[in-house]
A = this chain, B = another copy of it.
């Protein structure tokens, strides 16, 4: 990946060259309740294909025919180095492994996912449609001193639907990186989505989603997503 890094900061275009996008499910208690899901004893995760990524300006999100499409706003980590068997108690090591952040919307075909859950089938179709991963610009690491204490929000047509602090994560970043990297080695440039707070819901073509991050009540410009 060295060619795609510039002064230690991943470039936006390189996001689409991620060797994988790994997403944590059910990582905020209230979101679990709203989906009637069981609270996991350990983080579980799934993949989204890099082909689902859309960068700022590349919208809109395209709703596949017959799909009940839901937004899930999530903090994304962009890794700066290979991570394998990370120690869950090592916060500093986890932060050191992060190159930069981004905001992301884990778009989900909820009806397809519910059907898959019922039949015991994989989630990859429900999560993997083209345009199902809008991302913000890259956020320099220095802009987020404590990733476990920032506010994520998402509005649909200016109505606030999600707005919670990352301090509500059930499993924090060191544990997330530990559990993932004990299964699959994370590479520099890989993207990790850390789960969504409560408030997920449907959007239909024409709806405008606006999402962002606040640190100490102050909006981070690069984190803004605005997409139809």
Binds B, one of A49-57, A70-78, A92-100, A146-154: A49-57
A122 close to B19 (CB less than 8 A): no
The smallest C-beta distance from A27 to any residue of chain B, in angstroms, reads 14
| Known interface pairs A128-B183, A184-B49; A44-B120 also in contact (CB < 8 Å) | no
Chain A contact residue count (CB 8 A cutoff): 34
A116 to B122, CA, bound (A): 9
A120 to B44, CA, bound (A): 12
A220 at the interface (CB under 8 A from B): no
Closest Cβ neighbor of A48 among chain B residues: B47
A111 at the interface (CB under 8 A from B): no
The smallest C-beta distance from A80 to any residue of chain B, in angstroms, reads 16
B51 close to A20 (CB less than 8 A): yes
A19 close to B50 (CB less than 8 A): yes
B129 close to A183 (CB less than 8 A): yes
Q: Max chain B CB contacts within 10 Å: which of A25, A50, A130, A186?
A: A130
The smallest C-beta distance from A190 to any residue of chain B, in angstroms, reads 9
* Chain B contacts for A51, CB-based, 8 A: 19-20, 184-187
The smallest C-beta distance from A55 to any residue of chain B, in angstroms, reads 15
Sort A-B residue pairs by CB-CB distance and give the 7 closest, nearest first. Answer: A117-B120, A46-B122, A122-B123, A47-B47, A46-B124, A20-B49, A51-B185
24 interchain pairs, CB-CB under 8 A: A19-B19, A19-B51, A20-B50, A20-B51, A22-B49, A25-B121, A38-B119, A44-B125, A45-B122, A45-B125, A47-B49, A51-B184, A51-B187, A52-B184, A84-B130, A117-B121, A120-B120, A122-B122, A122-B123, A123-B123, A124-B124, A129-B183, A129-B184, A130-B185
A residues contacting B by CB (< 8 A) are: 17, 19-20, 22, 25, 38, 44-47, 49-52, 64, 84, 116-125, 128-130, 183-187
